A and B are shown apart, each in its own frame.
Chain A
């Protein structure tokens, strides 16, 4: 049995545990000759640089605010769609609608980036063509950071709608039908039924999913931000998240020590929030806790 576990243990040692030791980089002045362990220590300089430049606050704020917006908008839409699909739609419509809404989940972020280009491009993008058709001035979306919070929230909603809806649909299907029958006999109309039975019964699932999402509030979706925004510095004020910042510091500006410091900062922050979230879930419903 231990032998059967060996490959997986080796995998997580190599790709998770040994790199954890590399956290020392956050306290070092990295150079390629010294490598991870031979480079000289520089105390908290990397962190100082990261915090003093103002980047830390900007990317932390962006990461948290985007995730909060995603959690609220996505869950409300998903629940709304799931309830309507369950209560109002006929069998065929339900099938087709679910198939269409689930589709974006299967598409890579690169393709989403291509779609965004199709929509938002200044010269040939669909949005500007529509605006011109209506006699409005074209807007330079890729150079205006103010549009991007709205765009990214919409894209996230678009990509996750079907996925979340299917999950909530499963939870709704699990609600005891006797309650509905009793409500019907009592003369409740369908809206009262949704308000008084479906929603309250859905709440445990919602609370768990939201708490777990809150646990990940400091983890940005790199694929999304990178493919939507890329290295477009004009948009960083409103779109840079911790993950894209760490990536850029590593690959573009080559500030390895500072990048490691930012990554460590994110890991610690993420660990703290997920512990808190798990504690909250455990208090709410012991069986649903992660650990």
Chain B
């Protein structure tokens, strides 16, 4: 734009500038609050629906369907779930075990790999980076991978199959590596002069300095393990090894099996199992820990995404 034009505009704008929100800002605020409220409701409505459905009496659901506000309040579904919680607790146990081991081991290996790749004096840095990165570009597909795990590694129906395949993720290694690259090289250099080995430097110096990245990546890994049902779908048929999400998946699809199991264990005497509300209660129970932890861990995920956005 030409300079005279700029001056004219400046002159015109000056009297009002920065004194009170102009009508344009008020209009934008009106649009903004309306649209964002609609979007927020769109995002949270399904959750409210599930919570409310799990607290509605079965008879009311059958008659009037799932409701956003329970017309007949009832905690029957939860009381049945918790009366004979053996299966559910087993699934919880599997998920917690897998999440803890997988996150600890995965995070450690991610950090260690990233550290080596972040060292500028490591000779084969580029070939190894390519070795890892190439797996995100090309793969053998589902079938060879499946056969490898089942026929060659013999991991079907083991706890390991829920942990191993998700242990490392190239994207996390890259994010971790770029974080570690920002740690001043002088720190490593001075430790080397003091005679510390590479592994010791990693454990004693790099890990403590990488805490923010470790927290973020660790939570991403943990969320992946907690929400994983896919590996169980493919590799687990033993009901003693079902993780929580897969247990929920089976329950949603196979209420009859659940009913039978509950009648055998004596949880219900008749066939009057509150099917619909029970499904919703189980959904809440499977999601509960995430919903509870969410407000506290959210910022770490935001942090992680922000690193990702900056790095492209």
Contact = CB atoms under 8 A, between A and B. Distances in A.
B116 A4 contact: yes
Contacts of B31: 84, 88
Contacts of A250: 142-143, 146
Residue among B116, B131, B252, B312 with most chain A CB within 10 A = B312
Contacts of B128: 5, 9
Nearest to B139: A267
A271 B137 contact: yes
Contacts of B47: 103, 115
Main secondary structure of the interface of B (DSSP, over half): helix
B32 interface: yes
Contact of B49 (A17, A118, A187, A243): A118
A100 B44 contact: yes
A263 interface: yes
A256 B144 CA distance: 9
A114 B47 CA distance: 10
Contacts of A103: 43-44, 47, 294
Interface stretch (A54-62, A67-75, A165-173): A165-173
A185 to B, nearest CB: 6
Contacts of B248: 110-111, 114
B199 interface: yes
Contacts of B142: 243, 246-247, 250, 259, 263
B132 A12 contact: yes
Given A93-B36, A267-B138, A271-B137, A186 B6 contact: yes
Interface residues of A, number: 105
A31 interface: no
Interface residues of B, number: 104
Interface in B254-277: 276
B309 A19 contact: no
Nearest to A126: B66
B168 to A, nearest CB: 5
Contact of A114 (B13, B25, B280, B309): B280
Interface string A262-291: 111011001100110000000000011011
Contact of B141 (A104, A117, A266, A291): A266
A228 to B, nearest CB: 12
A191 B145 CA distance: 52
A158 B50 contact: no
B186 interface: no
Interface string B14-26: 1001100010110
Nearest to A8: B113
B12 A163 contact: no
Contact of A88 (B32, B42, B276): B32
Interface stretch (A20-28, A144-152, A233-241): A20-28
Main secondary structure of the interface of A (DSSP, over half): helix
Contacts of A262: 141
A179 interface: no
Contacts of B18: 184
Interface stretch (B57-65, B76-84, B96-104, B208-216): B57-65
Residue among B17, B113, B198, B276 with most chain A CB within 10 A = B113
Given A12-B168, A117-B252, A18 B229 contact: no
B192 interface: no
Given A15-B145, A109-B229, 11 more contacts: A22-B147, A105-B301, A114-B248, A119-B46, A123-B62, A167-B306, A185-B10, A186-B9, A246-B142, A246-B143, A256-B147
Interface of B: 6, 9-10, 12-14, 17-18, 22, 24-25, 28-29, 31-33, 35-37, 39-40, 42-44, 46-47, 49-50, 53, 61-62, 64-68, 109, 112-113, 115-116, 119, 122, 124, 128, 130-133, 135, 137-149, 151, 153, 164-165, 167-168, 173, 198-199, 202, 223, 226-230, 234, 245-246, 248-249, 252-253, 276, 279-280, 283, 286-287, 290, 294-295, 298, 301-302, 305-306, 308-310, 312
Please name the 8 residue pairs, one residue from A and one from B, whose CB atoms are nearest each other, closest first.
A22-B144, A263-B141, A88-B32, A187-B13, A129-B65, A108-B227, A189-B24, A19-B140
